[in-house]
């Protein structure tokens, strides 16, 4: 990877997903210890997805207008880090909602713009994306295992300080990564709305939104689910880590998968395994063996799914539309889907219980299979 700023990109992914590994599994524990109800936890944990509905459009538009993607990400990331300091000032629901809204609004710029930069650096060799992205998985594991063990003895306020430190790391690497040249493409003169109206684009985003919604209960309540069944926080951390270890394996093997199967086939298999995974988590939480198998399926429900989806998005949005294409994908798929999944999970958890809540997750994944089988074959030929 001689022409690729591999170490600097790897460093950013490491710290970004280490931040996710500290925030997603454990911030809900902090909220629980602060006396929040399941509905309040569901609302607060869905704020990052809520801001991804709108904010990435602004950042992607600014980046495409200025042709300096990472300058936008750097300045927004600095503002997001400052906003996070508000969590130390109070733990009231309204205050934390405002803090998370500001923090995630600014930090939502980073990942889609760095993703677009990474893919531009890779050029036509997008199958090598997994070799860079794998360092994000390593960062997630380090954070989730380390913090899980620490929380067996430390107060849940340690989550707040850990997240702050990891933000500093990803901000530093965001400044270190060089911008990439935006290659011209024949679609540059087309309005982006023309691309968005293509049936395969609509179906891809809708299916990916269903996958994000399916993960809503998992990202919001999985750790609480495990602790309620008597598992320690450190074991919960290792179960999270197992999923990401399997994700690493799939990222490393993605070039071989892409040679053997089409993106459509990879997506269909990913959605099918996701449906099975959530049923196992919901109905067999007392079986550690079942949880271990379910976590291994994270390789499909996130790893192969994400690598295949982002590769298709890169092909559908070309030239000057790449940054906005990644932002639109992130905001509509992960933003809308994740926000719906997060909000709904709080109400479902309180009213239906864990088993039926995760059954709804499985239903979302099965619905994604139907959409992909129906229309995505066009995208595979693009």
pLDDT of 379: 40
What are the angstrom distances between the C-alpha of 51 and each of 73, 83, 95, 335? Answer: 15, 14, 16, 7
> What H or E segment, with its residue span, contains residue 261?
none
Domains of the chain: 6-380 (1.20.1250.20)
Question: Burial, 290: exposed, middle or buried (Cβ in 10 Å; 0-12, 13-18, 19+)?
Answer: middle
Closest CA to 247 of 8, 13, 1, 4: 13
What are the angstrom distances between the C-alpha of 279 and each of 95, 120, 192? Answer: 35, 38, 38
Give dist(CA 36, CA 29) in Å, integer: 10
In the chain, what percentage of residues exceed pLDDT 70? 89
pLDDT of 4: 72
Least confident of 160-174, 258-272, 274-288, 367-381: 367-381
> What H or E segment, with its residue span, contains residue 200?
helix 199-214
Give dist(CA 283, CA 278) in Å, integer: 9
Evaluated on CA atoms 129, 299, 326, 160, the torsion sign reads negative
Q: What is the pLDDT of residues 189-236, one digit of tens each?
A: 556 666 677 888 889 999 999 999 999 999 999 999 999 999 999 999
Closest CA to 120 of 185, 179, 189: 179
Average pLDDT over residues 55-77: 79
Name the range with the highest mean pLDDT among 41-50, 250-259, 347-356.
347-356
Q: Which residue has the higher pLDDT, 71 or 370?
A: 370
> Residue 288 pLDDT > 80, yes or no?
yes
Confidence at 376, pLDDT banded by 50, 70, 90: confident
Question: 């629901």: which residue's tokens?
Answer: 93
Name the range with the highest mean pLDDT among 309-318, 326-335, 356-365.
356-365
Give dist(CA 273, CA 271) in Å, integer: 6
> Residue 381 pLDDT > 60, yes or no?
no
> Residue 82 pLDDT > 90, yes or no?
yes
Mean pLDDT rounded to a whole number for the chain: 87
pLDDT of 323: 65
Give dist(CA 343, CA 336) in Å, integer: 11
Side-chain-facing half-sphere of 312: CA atoms under 13 Å: 27
- DSSP secondary structure string for all residues of 55-102: HHHHHHHHHHHHT-HHHHHHHHHHHHHHHHGGGGG---HHHHHHHHHH
Burial string for 244-262 (b: 16+ CB within 10 Å, else e) reads bbbbbebbebbbebbeeee
Average pLDDT over residues 126-133: 73
pLDDT of 218: 95
Average pLDDT over residues 249-271: 91
Least confident of 51-55, 319-323, 324-328: 319-323
Question: 């493409």: which residue's tokens?
Answer: 185
Closest CA to 19 of 164, 236, 131: 164
pLDDT of 187: 46
Are the C-beta atoms of residues 358 and 282 closer than 8 Å to each other?
yes
Question: 């394996």: which residue's tokens?
Answer: 249
pLDDT of 114: 86
pLDDT of 189: 54
pTM here is 0.78
Least confident of 70-84, 140-154, 259-273, 317-331: 317-331
Other Cβ atoms closer than 10 A to 287: 12
Give dist(CA 237, CA 131) in Å, integer: 24
Q: Which residue has the higher pLDDT, 165 or 339?
A: 165
Average pLDDT over residues 133-138: 88
DSSP state of 179: P
């Amino acid at each position: 990877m001689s022409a690729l700023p591999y170490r600097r990109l790897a460093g950013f992914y490491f710290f970004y997903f280490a931040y996710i590994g500290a925030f997603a599994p454990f911030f809900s524990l902090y909220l629980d210890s602060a006396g929040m109800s399941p509905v309040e936890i569901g609302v607060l944990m869905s704020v990052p997805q809520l801001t991804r509905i709108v904010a990435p459009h602004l950042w992607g538009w600014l980046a495409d207008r200025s042709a300096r993607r990472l300058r936008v990400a750097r300045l927004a990331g600095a503002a997001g880090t400052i906003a996070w300091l508000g969590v130390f000032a109070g733990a009231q629901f309204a205050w934390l909602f405002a803090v998370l809204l500001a923090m995630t609004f600014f930090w939502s710029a980073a990942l889609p713009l760095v993703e677009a930069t990474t893919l531009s650096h890779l050029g036509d060799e997008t199958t090598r994306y997994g070799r860079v992205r794998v360092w994000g998985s390593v960062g997630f594991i380090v954070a989730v295992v380390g913090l899980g063990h620490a929380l067996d003895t430390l107060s849940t306020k340690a989550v707040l300080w850990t997240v702050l430190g990891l933000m500093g790391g990803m901000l530093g690497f965001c400044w270190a990564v060089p911008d990439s040249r935006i290659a011209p493409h024949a679609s540059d003169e087309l309005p982006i709305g023309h691309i968005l109206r293509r049936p395969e684009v609509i179906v891809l985003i809708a299916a990916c939104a269903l996958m994000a919604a399916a993960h809503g209960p998992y990202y919001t309540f999985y750790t609480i689910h495990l602790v309620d069944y008597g598992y320690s926080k450190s074991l919960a951390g290792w179960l999270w880590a197992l999923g990401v270890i399997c994700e690493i394996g799939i990222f490393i093997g993605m070039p071989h998968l892409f040679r053997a199967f089409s993106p459509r086939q990879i997506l269909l298999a990913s959605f099918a395994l996701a449906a099975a995974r959530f049923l196992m988590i919901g109905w067999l939480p007392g079986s550690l063996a079942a949880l271990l198998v379910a976590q291994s399926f994270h390789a499909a429900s996130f790893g192969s799914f994400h690598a295949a989806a982002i590769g298709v998005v890169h092909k559908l949005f070309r030239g000057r539309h790449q940054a906005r294409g990644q932002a639109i994908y992130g905001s509509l798929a992960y933003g809308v889907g994740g926000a719906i999944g997060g909000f709904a999970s709080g109400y479902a958890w309180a009213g239906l219980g864990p088993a039926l809540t995760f059954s709804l997750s499985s239903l979302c994944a099965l619905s994604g299979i139907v959409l992909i089988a129906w229309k995505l074959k066009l995208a595979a030929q693009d």
